């Protein structure tokens, strides 16, 4: 890998993601981790970057990993890769199918030159007549496929112009409703539609199945903390926020009730998990009021491990069990979590989140 930026990105993937998380990343950008050639973390990540680049999803992959590991991504000094497009190759293929000679640019100044061993057709004679006759004659020289392409481009431009007029007007009718950003984080693939559904959750709260279970012998029970941000320390704030997440997933509180506990990026992660991953993993659609059972306990209680000014890092090991009571499908996750919690007065808010998977086994 000759590109230093991609080499740094490969090292970042090796350090920050385990094999299960790399497989999930591949799925998010439409790739299959098990199909990647190479062996071991080094070989797999190298092939992942090369294949993502060849399939024009490297920019999407980088955006996804930056959302999952914002601090580590920034510290790795990875430069952004602009979204790639196949339009030039599509135009070249189309031109070849129509018999149009290819044109390339030289390395010195980009001056168009004819490729070697390619016969260049002479320029056609100028079209005579009035401007109307000239236009009619020019259109007549185009093949049906070229004319169709021109019509499609024209229609596309019209649609874009209409949307540019209509969308701002539609947005003004939403009142004080807050529309999430298009970028999503973390646990699942980017989907603006799923984030937008979070705003209608108050009217679509799901039916609730009993969710509280006794913890295992080596685990600590989830403490009951009043729904207030005025807690004594960052570790207690994490316990409070996890209690609120259980209430949110099971429909006892709406999306607005948990907004005070999360910064913008972690909140998008929660919405994406609730409205995308749960639907994909166990078939529960919270926007339609589907019932869900959620069990949570601490394998290792939250504890503060560092502090810097008003920001605190809290670590914990948590077991989460999500079950669809209609189908008995379950999704379980035991992970080590690292929360970055910011304090404002007596209120705490999660502004950063990182996790590492321990097990997907259900107890």
Q: What is the pLDDT of residues 225-234, one digit of tens each?
A: 333 345 679 9
In a domain, 214, yes or no: yes
Whether 199 and 345 map to the same domain: the answer is: yes
Domain-terminating residue out of 75, 90, 123: 75
- Burial classification of residue 262, based on how many CB atoms lie within 10 Å of its CB (0-12 exposed, 13-18 middle, 19 or more buried): buried
What percent of the chain clears pLDDT 70, i.e. is strictly above it?
A: 65
Neighbours of 201 (CB within 10 A): 22
Q: Which residues contact 98 (CB under 8 A, 6 or more apart)?
A: 143, 145, 146
Domain-terminating residue out of 131, 146, 173: 173
Whether 287 and 148 map to the same domain: the answer is: no
354 φ, ψ (degrees, to nearest 5): -140, 140
Average pLDDT, the chain: 75
37 confidence band (pLDDT: 50, 70, 90): confident
What domain count does the chain have?
A: 3
Whether 197 and 305 map to the same domain: the answer is: yes
Whether 203 and 137 map to the same domain: the answer is: no
In terms of pLDDT, which residue wins out, 180 or 240? Answer: 240
pLDDT at 69: 94
Whether 247 and 130 map to the same domain: the answer is: no
Dig out the tokens for 207 from the structure: 């039916």
Give the best-scoring range by mean pLDDT among 32-46, 77-91, 190-204: 32-46
Residue with tokens 């989907």: 191
- Using left for φ > 0, alpha for ψ between -120 and 50, and beta otherwise, residue 11 falls in alpha
251-286 pLDDT, tens digit per residue, is: 998 888 888 999 999 999 999 999 999 999 999 999
Whether 223 and 324 map to the same domain: the answer is: yes
Rounded Cα–Cα distance for residues 182 and 260 (Å): 20
321-to-6, 131, 203, 207 alpha-carbon distances in Å = 37, 73, 25, 17
pLDDT at 8: 92
Q: What is the 3-state secondary structure (H, E, C) of 29-68?
A: CCCCHHHCCCCHHHHHHHHHHHHHHHCCCHHHHHHHHHHH
In a domain, 336, yes or no: yes
Q: What is the arithmetic mean of pLDDT over 31-53?
A: 88
To the nearest 10°, the Cα dihedral for 88, 93, 95, 96? 140
Rounded Cα–Cα distance for residues 176 and 179 (Å): 9
In a domain, 228, yes or no: yes
Whether 167 and 258 map to the same domain: the answer is: no
In a domain, 205, yes or no: yes
In a domain, 182, yes or no: no
> ∠ CA(251), CA(257), CA(262), 5° rounding?
115
Whether 216 and 333 map to the same domain: the answer is: yes
Rounded Cα–Cα distance for residues 165 and 168 (Å): 6
Whether 167 and 210 map to the same domain: the answer is: no
Domain-terminating residue out of 122, 139, 173: 173
In a domain, 203, yes or no: yes
pLDDT at 43: 86
172 confidence band (pLDDT: 50, 70, 90): very low
Whether 71 and 121 map to the same domain: the answer is: no
Q: What is the arithmetic mean of pLDDT over 41-45?
A: 85
Whether 301 and 331 map to the same domain: the answer is: yes
150 confidence band (pLDDT: 50, 70, 90): confident
Whether 157 and 214 map to the same domain: the answer is: no
> Can you give the residue range of the structural domain that contains 157?
111-173
The gap from C-alpha 14 to its chain's centroid, in whole angstroms, comes to 20
Dig out the tokens for 281 from the structure: 């993993």
In a domain, 106, yes or no: no
Q: What is the arithmetic mean of pLDDT over 39-63?
A: 89
In a domain, 82, yes or no: no
């Amino acid at each position: 890998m000759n590109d230093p930026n991609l080499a740094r990105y490969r090292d970042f993937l090796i350090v920050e993601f385990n094999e299960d998380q790399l497989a999930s990343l591949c799925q998010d950008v439409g790739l299959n981790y098990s199909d990647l050639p190479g062996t071991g973390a080094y070989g797999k990540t190298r092939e992942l970057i090369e294949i993502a680049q060849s399939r024009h999803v490297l920019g999407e992959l980088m955006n996804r990993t930056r959302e999952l590991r914002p601090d580590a991504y920034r510290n790795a000094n990875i430069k952004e890769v602009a979204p790639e497009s196949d339009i030039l190759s599509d135009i070249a293929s189309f031109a070849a199918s129509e018999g149009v000679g290819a044109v390339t640019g030289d390395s010195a100044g980009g001056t168009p030159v004819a490729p070697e061993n390619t016969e260049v057709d002479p320029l056609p004679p100028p079209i005579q007549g009035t401007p109307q006759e000239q236009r009619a004659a020019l259109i007549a020289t185009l093949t049906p496929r070229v004319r169709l392409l021109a019509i499609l481009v024209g229609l596309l431009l019209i649609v874009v112009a209409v949307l540019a007029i209509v969308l701002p007007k539609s947005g003004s009718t939403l009142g004080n409703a807050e529309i999430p950003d298009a970028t999503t984080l973390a646990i699942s693939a980017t989907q603006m539609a799923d984030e937008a559904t979070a705003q209608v959750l108050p009217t679509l709260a799901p039916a609730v199945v009993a969710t509280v279970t006794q913890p295992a012998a080596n685990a600590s029970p989830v403490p009951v903390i009043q729904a207030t941000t005025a807690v004594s320390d960052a570790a207690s704030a994490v316990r409070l926020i996890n209690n609120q997440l259980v209430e949110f997933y099971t429909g006892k509180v709406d999306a607005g009730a948990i907004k005070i506990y999360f910064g913008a990026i972690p909140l998008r992660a929660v919405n994406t998990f609730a409205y995308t991953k749960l639907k994909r993993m166990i078939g529960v659609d919270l926007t339609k009021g589907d019932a869900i059972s959620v069990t949570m306990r601490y394998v290792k209680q939250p504890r503060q491990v560092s502090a810097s000014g008003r920001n605190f890092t809290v670590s914990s090991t948590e077991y989460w069990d999500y079950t669809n009571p209609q189908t008995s499908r379950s999704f379980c996750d035991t992970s080590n979590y690292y929360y970055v919690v910011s304090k404002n007065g007596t209120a705490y808010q999660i502004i950063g989140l990182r996790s590492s998977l321990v097990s997907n086994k259900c107890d």
